[in-house]
Amino acid sequence: MFITSEWPVLKPKQPQPNTVKQRAEALQAAGVSVEVFTFSAGTAYGYLAAWTRLRPRLHPRRYDLVHAQDTSNVLLALPKRVPLVVTLGTRDLRRVIQHLFTRFLARRADAVIVGSDEMRDRIRLRTPVYVIPPGLDEGTFTARLLDVYRSLVPERFSAS
């Protein structure tokens, strides 16, 4: 399951490789069942309403893992019931370095994805950190993403 507050792309006039929608479609094409949970972020009420909608559905019999597309989206997956992956964007990196709460959320994940070696080197987490650059072609990006998932749930995401 993907958790995102950015669906579809918020700024359609700007090219945005590897958007959440593209990732979900590429994973589905690779044979992975993907559900995208979307919500309106920005207010505490928006997060509380989304958390209330998501919690009854979020259990191991339904999902193999949850992928939060932003550190703030980790809130919706807590307390964890299934393995959790979080993608840190550039703005997340600034927040991880500057704010303890964002670092706390990133540490709740079982795996963290960043866009560059520099980002990986700048964050300090005990959680495994994987580098998947944003400019990769969709096939390579999907294969790298599946490698991350496979590290957490090898029996579900075995190489085909």
Vertex 94, ends 91 and 100: CA angle to 5°?
120
pLDDT reported for residue 46: 87
In the prediction, which pLDDT does 128 show?
93
Supply the pTM of this predicted model. Answer: 0.84
User: What local confidence, expressed as pLDDT, does residue 124 receive?
Assistant: 77
CA–CA separation, 87 and 23 (whole Å): 12
- Predicted confidence at residue 64, as pLDDT, reads 92
DSSP 12-64: TTS--TT-HHHHHHHHHHTT----EEE---SSHHHHHHHHHHHGGG-STTT-S
Residues of the chain with pLDDT under 70: 6-18, 90-99, 158-160
Q: Would you state the pLDDT for residue 9?
A: 45
| pLDDT at site 138 | 85
Measured distance CA(48)–CA(57) in Å, rounded: 15
Tokens at residue 23, please? Answer: 């990732």
Q: Which residues of 73-104 are buried (b: 16+ CB within 10 A; e: fewer)?
A: bbbbbeeeebbbbbbbbeebbebbeeeeebbe
Q: What is the Cα–Cα distance from 25 to 43, expressed in whole angstroms?
A: 29
